[in-house]
Amino acid sequence: WSMVAAIPTPGAAPLSITSTNGAVTLSWPSAAAGYSLEQTSSLAVSGNTWTPVTSGQYQTNATEILVAVPLAPGNTFFRLHKP
């Protein structure tokens, strides 16, 4: 089984996620400038490494920034990070 969900972080830009056709699409408001999308396979405290999602996958429209990411086996967690 699988689950796709977004859990809000207080003070961060809202991140939405949908699953279709073997991929997930993540989106957030275009007004949330300066955030980058990162991913990791584990939420464990030790050894947790967040890596940037390739910026070549980003698309924008008038209101949102969108990124489509292929589904992979195992867990993948996403977050918006503002350096």
Residue 29 near residue 13 (C-beta atoms within 8 A) = yes
Is pLDDT at 39 greater than 90 in this prediction?
no
pTM (global) more than 0.85: no
In the predicted model, what is the mean pLDDT of the chain? 83
3-state secondary structure at position 7: coil
Residue 68 near residue 24 (C-beta atoms within 8 A) = yes
- Spatial separation of the C-alpha atoms in residues 19 and 31, rounded to whole Å: 23
* Integer Rg of the chain from CA: 13
- Spatial separation of the C-alpha atoms in residues 36 and 53, rounded to whole Å: 8
List the single range of 9-13, 25-29, 61-65, 79-83 with lowest mean pLDDT.
9-13
In this prediction, residue 3 carries a pLDDT of 64
Is pLDDT at 1 greater than 50 in this prediction?
no
